[in-house]
Amino acid sequence: MSALYHYTSERHHLPMILASGELRGRADMEGERPLVWFSAHPFWEPTATKPRWTGGLLVPQTFEEYSDVFGCVRFALPADDGRLMDWRRACKFARIPKRDRWAMESIGKEAGGDPRHWLAVVGPVPLEELKVERLEGNQWQPMEVRV
């Protein structure tokens, strides 16, 4: 069975996720419906590597820098989950305007992402439904979480 992944930071986001017991949807713009985003990328979704604030500036990071500073965790959802929506359908559901979708696609591609790999579900998604893994070196290892 193949899986899709919600990639996130171990030291920044994971404690909040574990405390809530679920992956919660996120909306970045007013009027947008929140979704929980997943990627078909088998190792790491390039757009999950976020820039960080350094000396008052927002600075891009390499995956290695991000991993060293924040740690990497992923939540696996079966790829055949009936709640999944592809990128365009998810954007339409979330009420993301086309021009914003096109901008996100362009920025995502520049980062090495592929919109065909981006899928979403309407959240929340209970952690009991997901398999959790932590990146150790270059290998994803099962991670036991208590919910």
Q: Which domains does the chain have, with CATH numbers?
A: 3-49+60-142 (3.20.170)
Share of the chain above pLDDT 70, in %: 99
Q: Per-residue pLDDT for 14 more than 70?
A: yes
Digit-coded pLDDT (tens) for 86-145? 999 999 999 999 999 999 999 999 999 999 999 999 989 999 999 999 999 999 999 988
pLDDT more than 90, % of the chain: 73
- 3-state secondary structure labels for all residues of the chain: CCEEEEEEECCCCHHHHHHHCEECCECCCCCCCCEEEEECCCCCCHHHCCCEEECCEEECCCHHHHHHHHCEEEEEEECCCCCCEEHHHHHHHHCCCHHHHHHHHHHHHHCCCCHHHEEEECCCEEHHHCEEEEEECCEEEECCCCC
pLDDT tens, 136-147? 999 999 998 876
